[in-house]
Amino acid sequence: MVMSLPVSASAPDLAIRIPTGFADALGIWFTAMTAILVAEAGLARRIAKFRLLNTWQALPVAEVWAGPRLDQQCVTSRQKSAVRPVRAQPASGSQISRILLRIAAFAFGLGVTLPSLAQTISGSSLNITGQSTLRGDMVTCSGHPWIDIRCNGAMGDGNHDDTNAINSTISAAIANNWPVRLTAGTYKVTSRVTIDYATQAGQGFRLISDGAVIDGRTIASGPVLQIQCGNGTTSSPTGCFYFREEGTLFVNGNTPAYVVVVGKTDFSDAHNSAKFDHLIVNNANTAAAGGGCQFNYLLDSDVYAVCAAAGGAAGLAFEQLQFSRISGAGTAEGTGGRGAVLENGYNFSNTFFALDLEVSPTCLSITFSHNGLNTFVSPYFNCVTAVNATASDGNVLINPNYGGATVNYGPLSTGISVIGTGSRDNWLFPAAGSYVAKPIDDGLSLSNYNTPGASMSVTLPALSSVNAGWSMGFASDNGKGMTITTTSGSIISGGKSAGSITMGAGNYEYVRLQSDGNNFRIVSSTRNTRLANGFEPPPWPSNWLFPASSGYSAGLSDNGNILSSYNSTSGLTVTLPSINGIPDGWSMGFATDNNKGLIVQVNNATGGHIVWPGSGGSQTSLAMANTSQGAYEFMVLQYDGSGIFRVLEATPATAQAIGMVGAAGISHWSFPTVSSYTATVADNGNVISSLNSPASFLAITLPSTTAVPMGWTIGIATDGNKTAAVQTNSSSGGRILYPGSGATTTTASLAGANYEFLVLQFDGGNFRVIQATPATATLMGISGNAPGINRWSFPATSTYAASQSDIGNALSSYNTPTSTLAVTLPATTAISAGWMMGFATDNGKTMTVQVNGTSGGRILYPAGATGSAGSSVTLAPINYEFMALQFDGGNFRIVSITPRSASALGMFGHPITTGATPALGSGSSDCGTSPSIGGNDSAGRVIVGAANGGRCTITFASPWLNPPVCSAFDETTATLVRPTASSTTGMVLTGAFAAGDVLAYSCLGFQ
């Protein structure tokens, strides 16, 4: 077996006969010996070839022989200098040092390899072939793991013509299925470099580059680098697999063609599973056909290529690319140049990642209808024209980014869909009287705000040029109208189709159209737009009025009108007509504009009532929402013929303001400049913040329960370092309910920190807490919200009365002005189960905790025979003692305590040992007839039997680690007994024992 390995430096060949099979160990030895020989001979520029022979020949250390071998693979003339003999007579200190180094290296090699001599391994031959350069670099020529491009004379100095050397190396590599390595350098070529790996079509070809540059700028025409796989035809292309360019490869050219071409232009070779790691291509030629890279037929491949050209072709040209992944950059600066182009063949199902397309007149060009179903993820377009797609189908741009050079986003963008607008504005405000929509406008909205005339005309793209699902929105602003016209298909909605639609000259009209492949469907529109174009009949208000007065009396003729508060002085009050003069179905709309409120009330003469879900039957007026968030509120009333005006429609804030059932939820915020605030039904959905309170707090009073509907909701928030509290109304106020509150709570305070939040909702009788931030929930004592101690307090008082708000608090005696801090627990009726508090001694000051004098409960802890239930506990008089109490619903339990305080309270109890009963000796020479024993190895009692021998032998149930220390006592005679424990397994009690004597013993072990 022959193994070829690369080496890092050259030296005369070294032949040593040793057993084979120790490649790893011998490698270390060879490295050391080679280094010594290189140092001796100074032959860093020679070819090194080492051969490990098949058998071991034991030689004296002094006779290890190294000599030159002449069977070198690749020898250049500059490498054939004479070899200085290695063997020399020792005549100096340096020679002796070299001999010692040889001995050390040889001994090291033996030390590594000899442990393996026990194995029987068949012989082999190890052949390491390489070639060095004048710089001392090692050039691998064996093909294993690669063949270096310099093995055939390539210099890589930028001056020498390396064309033949490169082509011959590539030919040899393809013939032998070897990878080719281009070591760093600039390789000048004067004619095309061709890699035709047809003979390895099934195995592939590896081109490894260490940042090498192939400089083909002297090539006047055609590509500099051609990668192909011949022997195929267009109808029966060669199936080629696994071409791989590894590392960074630079290719420079100055040719009126593409510098790098992959595959043949007739699509006769299909390159499957190819991979280009980092290909950098530059073409300085300004000809119209000058381009960067051309990929003719790639399948399921990965390409990272940066291809730039000064000509007018393309930076990246994809002729036939399928289900592949592409990234990098492309530029073609010349007239008509394109950063990237998809053309000619079938380019589909590809993903382009973050393509950087710049400087070219057009960034992305798609010219053939077979170029479809490709996805461009976050492309960057910085060209005058971003996209020019004259024929494509189902291509998608995801979040495209447009640079400052972009003027035309996509005047021709057939078959382009856009997901996410990227850097392009969602809304367009062109300062022109007309606009031609394009496929690349997918997802955008267009406003006529800046149009110079009274109306804007919009032309939709041809249906054949957009993908099904393409959509665009249109809005009328600034009192200007808009006409939208199709060039194919129709605009359809509500059983009607039209070739154009008109949006009236008014503000904020809107329509969104979407292509279904055959027509444009109205998927969203404002009501007036639908009414104006006949897509919806006008059964209810559609005619807008803007009275300038503060009051308006509606009549029969107002059926179908909408009144706006826009022009009123400070708000508009509308009086409904008498119910005697209007028909069933009479309808009227109301709107708030210009931040001015609107109130609707019934007529004093037979006016009827106004009803809505939750109103009851006695309401005679209502006020629409009028907050900064409530501009453009809208509501419709309709008469039902029985004396009732019904609210048929209301925007959410107005629905909440009037207390409509089902309209609950937080929707807007208020920042009143008062220290006390009385909430009303209009605060439904409102959050009241303490930010602008002139005091350090904000007190909120809830409305009467008779004034709000079920579901009425309000939020309270703390801001500006100001606290907030809420209380029920003194008149029919109900209660505030939350887990652990009981049935009598009428107030709630938020925790004293910024951004605390509390939400209350009316359930028809009381106000329930439905949301609270954790600190506020803890402060309020909401059950289940006390996971443990979460904060510390250091009061500067000698007494402290704990309360519900101390839940989770730990109290320290550190700052008490006396020698002790006395803490009184809250009454059991004032807290909920789970309430927890900690107590700590600090600064040499003690602490006593006692129950409340009213409904105080007890403090429970395990002490004594049955446990203790006391009214107070005192922590041990030392620093850093700690105790935690938790309320169980009736009493306070010690759930955590430091050992010394626990001991002071007697919580440790009596020491009790357990274990198996040991064995007891019997008989006349031992513990007598029928003795007995009770207890365990640590303690017990022995009853002596009759006719004993003055001794009782106890054998422990389990051996001790060391012989234990034992004591014994004759309880019957009240005399001490001498115990001896001669081992870890037993002890002997000796003495003058009478039958029935009770001997008590105890033993302690030690380590």
CA distance 556 to 578: 9
Q: What is the C-alpha to C-alpha distance for residues 370 and 366, in angstroms, rounded to an integer? A: 10
Structure tokens at 417: 């869909």
Residues 6+ apart with CB under 8 A from 929: 922, 923, 945, 946, 947, 948
Of the listed ranges 703-707, 747-751, 1003-1007, the least confidently predicted one is 1003-1007
CATH number for the segment(s) 791-904: 2.60.120
* Nearest to 211, CA basis, from 165, 278, 146, 266: 278
pLDDT at 108: 43
Place of tokens 């790996």: 197
Do 892 and 859 touch, CB atoms closer than 8 A?
Answer: yes
Chain Cα centroid distance, residue 128: 50
Amino acid at 654: T
**Average per-residue pLDDT for the chain:** 84
According to DSSP, the residues that pair with 849 across neighbouring strands are: 823, 873
| pLDDT tens, position by position, 264-308 | 999 999 999 999 999 999 999 999 999 999 999 999 999 999 999
Q: Which of 141, 143, 161, 138 is nearest to 152 (CA)?
A: 141
Q: Quick one: CATH architecture of 152-419?
A: 3 Solenoid (2.160)
pLDDT at 921: 95
Q: What is the pLDDT of residue 904?
A: 86
Which of 603-616 are b and which e, b meaning 16 or more Cβ less than 10 Å from the residue's Cβ? beeebbbbbbbbbe
What DSSP element (H or E) covers 33?
helix 23-41
Question: Using CA of residue 831, residue 837, residue 841, residue 843, what is the dihedral sign?
Answer: negative
Letter string b/e over residues 943-969, b meaning 16 or more CB atoms within 10 A of that residue's CB: bbbeebbebbbbebeeebeebbebebb
This prediction has a pTM of 0.46
- Structure confidence at residue 984 (pLDDT): 92
> By percentage, how much of the chain surpasses pLDDT 70?
84
Task: Please state which of the ranges 103-117, 543-557, 665-679, 964-978 shows the lowest mean pLDDT.
Answer: 103-117
Domain 427-532 adopts which CATH fold? Jelly Rolls (2.60.120)
Q: Which fold has domain 543-657?
A: Jelly Rolls (2.60.120)
pLDDT above 60: residue 649: yes
Q: Is the pLDDT of residue 65 over 70?
A: no
The pLDDT score that the predictor gives to residue 778 is: 81
- Whether 152-419 shares its CATH topology with 668-780 is answered no
Each residue of 206-238: pLDDT tens digit? 999 999 999 999 999 999 999 999 999 999 999
Rounded CA-CA distance 577/177 in Å is: 97
Is residue 60's pLDDT more than 70? no
pLDDT of residue 775: 84
Q: Which residues pair with 260 in a beta bridge?
A: 225, 293
**How do the domains of the chain map onto residue ranges?**
2-132, 152-419, 427-532, 543-657, 668-780, 791-904, 919-1004
Task: Give the residue from 967, 966, 973, 917 showing the smallest Cα distance to 944.
Answer: 973
Beta bridge partners of 434: 457
> Residues 259, 282: contact at Cβ < 8 Å?
yes
Within 8 A by CB and 6+ apart from 643, the residues are 579, 608, 609
What distance in Å separates the CA atoms of residue 980 and residue 528, rounded to the nearest whole number? 110
SS3 letters across 865-911: CCCEEECEEECCCCCCCEEEEEECCCCEEEEEECHHHHHHCCCCCCC
- What is the torsion angle, in degrees rounded to the nearest 10, for the CA atoms of residue 375, residue 380, residue 386 and residue 391? -10
Lowest mean pLDDT among 115-119, 516-520, 980-984: 115-119
Overall fold of domain 668-780:
Jelly Rolls (2.60.120)
Tens-place pLDDT, residues 321-339: 999 999 999 999 999 999 9
Question: For residue 585, what is the DSSP state?
Answer: T
Integer Cα distance of 872 and 22 in angstroms: 81
38-58 confidence digits (pLDDT tens): 444 443 333 333 333 333 333
Residue 865 pLDDT class (50, 70, 90 cuts): low
Nearest by Cα to 727 from 695, 755, 688, 767: 767
